[in-house]
Structure 1
Amino acid sequence: MEKFMLIFRNEMQVESMYENFSPEDMQAELEKWNNWIGGIAAQGKLIATDALYPTGKSVKGLNHVVTDGPYTEAKEIVSGYMLLKADSIEEAIELSKGCPMYDYESVVEVRPIQNFG
């Protein structure tokens, strides 16, 4: 079985939308995520998953220049990730299809993880 990373990409407007959710809307959204993740976990394919804050720091280059980022002016941000096991990239794509992010026309990038030993 291979390992894959699902990278969740939201547009900033989608990320901002969550701030305006009522507590009931947020609970319903979390329930969608819990059901989808729980289904993958029940198959024994979940390795790890987490959401990311929309802010942080970027470190760049040989001089390790630190700046604020990602920037709120950016069109798209990485909002979270999941590590999972699947027999093929096609299976990983199928597992991704239940992701609630698709409800908002967001992107789930499916990438194989290289094993260096």
Structure 2
Amino acid sequence: MKFMVIVKASAASEAGIMPSEKLFTDMGNFNEELVKAGVMLAGEGLMPSAKGARIRFNGNQRTVIDGPFTETKELVAGFWLIEVGSKEEAIEWFKRCPNPHEGVESEIEIRQIFGPDDFGTDLPADVREQEDRLREQMAAR
């Protein structure tokens, strides 16, 4: 099972304040454990929303909204993509994660990623074939 583990933003991450050397080291060690265990597929920190944009969809209309965005508690500061056997295993791994925002309460959200089989018969056969082909192309890179 694949999961996205989402690090919620803080006022400091939105202000572009870099983590301490200790947090960089602790997080690097945690990531190394994930990689050695074959759990981590990807993981990155995100720049503040001031450097981002949103695209709002309304029918055929597209509106671009430049950051920063005001609701810090709803923003994402970073993520991991992991593959484990269950949600419980993901939870156990991330209970060991260093606090991503030193000195303040912070939150990590764990969300399972849909796989083609999760859609059952709702996914048309031609779309399933296309998805399989695209996954093969991405894996080849």
> Same fold, TM exceeding 0.5?
yes
Q: 1:57 to 1:3 in 2, by over 3 A?
A: same
Q: Which amino acid aligns with 1:113?
A: I
- Separation in 1 of the partners of 2:14 and 2:109? 21
Report if aligned partners of 1:18, 1:26 keep a CA contact under 8 Å in 2.
no
Amino acid in the other structure paired with 1:97: K
Alignment RMSD, CA only? 2.1
Match of 2:22 in 1: 28
Partner of residue 84, structure 1: 82
Change over 3 Å in CA distance of 1:102–1:27 after alignment to 2: closer
Q: Which residue of 2 aligns with 1:8?
A: 7
Q: 1:42-76 CA deviation, whole Å, 9 max, x = no partner?
A: 101110001111120000013110011341x3232
Distance in 2, matches of 1:70 and 1:110, equals 25
Find the counterpart in structure 1 of residue 95 from structure 2: 97
Moved more, 94-103 or 2-11: 94-103
Aligned match of 2:115 = 115
Structure 1 gap ranges (5+): none
Q: How far apart, CA to CA, are the structure 2 residues paired with 1:102 and 1:11?
A: 7
TM-score (ref. length: structure 1): 0.82
Conserved 8 A contact 1:6-1:109 = yes
- Total equivalences in the alignment: 110
Tell me, yes or no, if the aligned pair for 2:14 and 2:72 is still in contact at 8 Å.
Answer: no
| Greater share of strand | 1
- 1:61 paired with 2:24, answer no
Does the 8 A contact of 2:46 with 2:76 survive in 1? Answer: yes
- Alpha-carbon distance in structure 1 between the residues aligned to 2:101 and 2:92: 13
Q: Identify the residue that residue 39 of structure 1 maps to in structure 2.
A: 33
